Amino acid sequence: MRLLVCGGAGYIGSHMCKLLAEHGHEVAVVDNLSTGHAAAVRWGELHVGDIGDAAFLDRVFDDFRPEGVLHFAAKSIVGESVTDPAIYYLNNFSSSLNLFERVRRIPECPLIFSSTAAIFGVPRSDLINEAHPKYPINAYGRSKLAVEQVLQDYWTAYAMPSMSFRYFNAAGADPAGNIGEAHHPETHLIPRVFDSILGRSCAMKIFGDDYETPDGTCVRDFVHVNDLCNAHLLGLEFLKVRRGALAFNLGNGTGFSVRDVLKAAEEITGVAVPHEFTDRRPGDPSRLVADSSLARESLGWTARYSELPDIMQTAWAWHRDRKF
């Protein structure tokens, strides 16, 4: 298929482009490079521009004539969404709407949307499935949930097929080491652990050790970026036979604590992680773990990387020798 990847210069989007190309798809990337990297775009032509720019999108769509769209372009720092929500409603909501307006002019063009565990808000159960109540507690989660709701309406009214994937904690990197997670500034746990080990930052801060979890630190569901991307491949096939505005939770189904992450990093690198404990970070739920049985049953998806050290090993190979 000819597939347009919006946000294809970013962390997950760039891994997606590689996988799509390996599966014989023709790829084009749209990215405004606000957080992505031109160097990460190696499997399709890069069109630098903003999905909020209708004239720009028209040019790309007329030129490339996509048969499907994968939409990764977004701002994704929870804390920033609290202090500056406008960025999130403009980039994640308003610009997505602009993109969908262009997509729906192509009859039955499938769209896959990157959603997030943040749409669920404070977890009310150990495992979070699709039926879990959705009361996001920050503008990031609210902007993503609003887009999911738009997609429901667009299916009902315009028969625009779509699939939303709620990622839990995306982690790891391309095992070949050519692309990986590279946010500036970096706020995520695993890259910060490796930056700390490599002396690229000062001792990292661990946000809270008094949570009601087995070791007092937060528990997260780390899922390998390539496993997330594999779900998109399966989703594209699924949308050919079962149309709708569908949504799936994607995670390993296993929780690992922040201390587990530090321990795994020390085992992989043989270096103690310079760190200090500090106050809780506002808005961090104590535990976020996915129930992905619907994705397993419907799409045949499984996370091939189920062990934290295996996921982190790929991240380490990337961070040790980062290209951008």
Catalytic residues: 140
Looking at the Cβ atoms of 37 and 188, the one nearer to ligand UFG is 188
Looking at the Cβ atoms of 80 and 284, the one nearer to ligand UFG is 284
Amino acid sitting at position 283: G
Looking at the Cβ atoms of 132 and 220, the one nearer to ligand UFG is 220
Binding footprint of ligand UFG on the chain (CB under 6 A): 76, 78, 116-118, 140, 169, 187-189, 192, 204-207, 218, 220, 258, 281, 284, 288
Alpha carbon 306 to its chain centroid, in Å, reads 17
The helix or strand, by DSSP H or E, that contains position 22, with its residue range, turns out to be: helix 11-22
Looking at the Cβ atoms of 103 and 119, the one nearer to ligand UFG is 119
Burial string for 57-81 (b: 16+ CB within 10 Å, else e) reads beebbeebebbbbbbbbbbbbbebb
Token digits of residue 193: 């652990």
Q: Dihedral sign, CA of 167, 201, 184, 284?
A: positive
Cα–Cα distances in angstroms (integers) from residue 137 to residues 49, 185, 261, 296, in the given order: 30, 23, 25, 28
Q: CB 9 → ligand UFG: shortest distance, Å?
A: 18
Looking at the Cβ atoms of 12 and 151, the one nearer to ligand UFG is 12
* 239 exposure class (CB count in 10 Å sphere: 0-12, 13-18, 19+): buried
Computed over its alpha carbons, how large is the radius of gyration of the chain? 19
Q: CB 115 → ligand UFG: shortest distance, Å?
A: 10
Q: For strands 256-257 and 219-220, give the pairing.
A: antiparallel
Q: CB 258 → ligand UFG: shortest distance, Å?
A: 5
Q: CB 113 → ligand UFG: shortest distance, Å?
A: 14
Q: CB 102 → ligand UFG: shortest distance, Å?
A: 26
